[in-house]
């Protein structure tokens, strides 16, 4: 749970904001569903709601939301791209005269992309929650 979230037990306050819209934007983190009401992000669980304010509403400005509220995704994507292309390029240079060099380097690039993307995402997520 992020440190800026407020937990509201359902038995204390079973609420549903008029005008709140169900959305798929955001990390569900095991929630039954997510709702947005302006910059308010609400995750509904069986026994509680977790609520926090985003700086930017992703429905109005997706890139701004990623930059200000979820930079771990941008860093993960950039890390995946950088790591995958770097590994694929180096392996292709080493094996370019062999059969299936492009396929092998592509597979290695995809694997490296997954690893470096996850590492970049995880690092920024830990720093953000620190």
Q: Residues near 58 by Cβ (< 8 Å), separated by ≥ 6?
A: 25, 26, 36, 65, 66, 69
Tokens of 23: 């959305």
In tens digits, the chain (130 residues) has pLDDT values of 445 899 988 887 666 677 889 998 888 999 999 999 999 999 999 999 999 999 999 999 999 999 999 999 999 999 999 999 999 999 999 999 999 999 999 999 999 999 999 999 999 999 987 7
Residue 130 confidence (pLDDT): 79
pTM (predicted TM-score): 0.75
Q: What's the CA gap between 55 and 103, in Å, rounded? A: 43
pLDDT at 15: 66
Q: Which sequence spans correspond to the domains of the chain?
A: 6-61, 70-129
């Amino acid at each position: 749970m992020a440190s800026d979230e407020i937990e509201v037990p359902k038995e204390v306050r079973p609420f549903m904001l008029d005008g709140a819209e169900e959305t798929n934007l955001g990390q569900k983190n095991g929630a039954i569903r997510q709702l947005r009401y302006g910059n308010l992000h609400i995750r509904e669980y069986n026994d509680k709601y977790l609520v926090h304010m985003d700086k930017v509403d992703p429905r109005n400005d997706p890139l701004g939301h990623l930059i200000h509220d979820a930079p771990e995704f941008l860093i993960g994507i950039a890390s995946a791209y950088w790591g995958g292309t770097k590994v694929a390029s180096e392996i292709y240079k080493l094996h370019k005269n062999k059969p299936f060099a492009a396929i092998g380097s592509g597979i290695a690039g995809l694997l490296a992309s997954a690893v470096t993307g996850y590492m970049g995402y995880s690092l920024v997520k830990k720093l953000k929650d620190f």
